[in-house]
Amino acid sequence: MSSPSIHSSASKTSSIPAIASYFGTKGRYEEVNKYLIDDILAINTSLVNLPSPECREVHLTAIIRHGTRFPTTKNIEKMRQFHMVVRNASLNLSGLSEWKMWYTQDMDGRLVEKGREDHRHLAQRLIAWFPSLLNRESLSGGRVKLVTSSKHSLPQSIN
């Protein structure tokens, strides 16, 4: 019996694990988990199976990225510079000359409504998947602990 591999079967020589696509910070959750496009609350039960029907969940650890957010100050500045190039260009760039640059420095990586929805939906899926661990009793009894880094996009994602 061979052990499961986390590396893509497409390339046996690749040093990039197949699981790496789940850890990007630029794409939407739905891009990695295509089944969510049709049903945002769908649960892919093939990801985790208990070894026996007599087993039950006793602990859950999850590493969850921030939700969808505005660009960072660094990227807003790059867009502002590009915006100026486009505005000053004498070429007709298919409507780009009317482009309004509306990002501001104060948006720096802040969570957007889509990011809040990302995590509300994720919470609903986790509650449905692990009802014995994630319920009102566990929450009010202090048995659920959320830990985050201090980067401003992450505490916003917990709220």
pLDDT tens per residue, range 82-114: 888 887 776 666 677 677 889 988 898 888 898
**pLDDT < 50: residue spans in the chain:** 1-11
Q: Are 8 and 14 in contact (CB under 8 A)?
A: yes
7 given a catalytic annotation:
no
What is the pTM assigned to this prediction? Answer: 0.70
pLDDT of residue 154: 62
High-pLDDT (> 70) share of the chain, %: 81
**Catalytic, out of 66, 83, 119, 121:** 66
The rounded distance, in Å, linking the Cα atoms of 48 and 16 is 22
